[in-house]
Amino acid sequence: MSPLVSCILATRNRPQFLAQAISYFLRQRYANKELIIVDDSAEPAAVPESPQITYLRLNESTTLGAKLNLGIASARGELIQKLDDDDYYHPDFLSTTVRALQGQEPLATIVGCDCFLVLSAASGELTFSGHGWCAGGTLCFYRQLWQRQAFRELPRAVDWWFLKDHAPQRVKLTNPELYILVRHGAGHLWNTLGNSDVSEYFRRQRPYARRLNELLPVEDRLFYERLRV
């Protein structure tokens, strides 16, 4: 039987994105999965009842790192998949990350996307990230790795510190269509890249060869189109 994978999703005050993220989780073709949502929003979210979904509602705001740690501590799986609440995940994303992680050294390996697509919600433009990343919204690893060193309880840059703290072997996924990073105006935690603005940096990258309407089903495209209004 395929191992249980625990997907950890931290969110705050993004109810429309959370609903979309839940739909991406439910559409994953990998069957043996659970989703742990850790939410410190001002108001509780509407979360569908499902044996695969656990909703942890916090009564006061806390750091992103603390939310991720709480989610993992509450998870049942030995494989951990970090998800972001505002990005797109292909239905085969989870199957791909799990397959890449299985058989690797548990205390020395993190799987992540080496490249991905970037959607500007304002313009609808789709660009290619280039290679050499280990995208924070795609990290997959064994629970044992986290038990050795958890996420730092910081408000941002927790992915960068997690990779730095572990200095792991990185198994790189190279299909950019597995994951779309969505740039929008709703409170990004990642806004600078070196001396550059992140959104401006990605706008300078080359356009992707395929259009959004070739990659996403209609209901998902309409969701992102509504963000432009």
Q: What proportion of the chain, given as a percentage, has pLDDT over 70?
A: 93
pLDDT surpassing 60 at residue 193: no
70 Cβ neighbours under 8 A, 6+ residues apart:
38, 56, 58
Are 142 and 80 contacting, i.e. CB atoms less than 8 angstroms apart?
yes
pLDDT bracket for residue 123 (50, 70, 90): confident
Q: Give residue 167's region: left, alpha or beta (phi > 0; psi -120 to 50).
A: left
pLDDT of residue 186: 58
Of 77, 62, 51, the C-alpha closest to 10 is 62
Residue 205 reports pLDDT greater than 90: no
The CATH superfamily label for domain 5-226 reads Spore Coat Polysaccharide Biosynthesis Protein SpsA; Chain A (3.90.550.10)
Mean pLDDT of 67-75: 99
The pLDDT score that the predictor gives to residue 84 is 97
Mean pLDDT of 115-142: 94
Q: Is the dihedral of CA 85, 35, 55, 162 positive or negative?
A: negative
pTM: 0.93
How do beta strands 88-89 and 179-183 pair? antiparallel
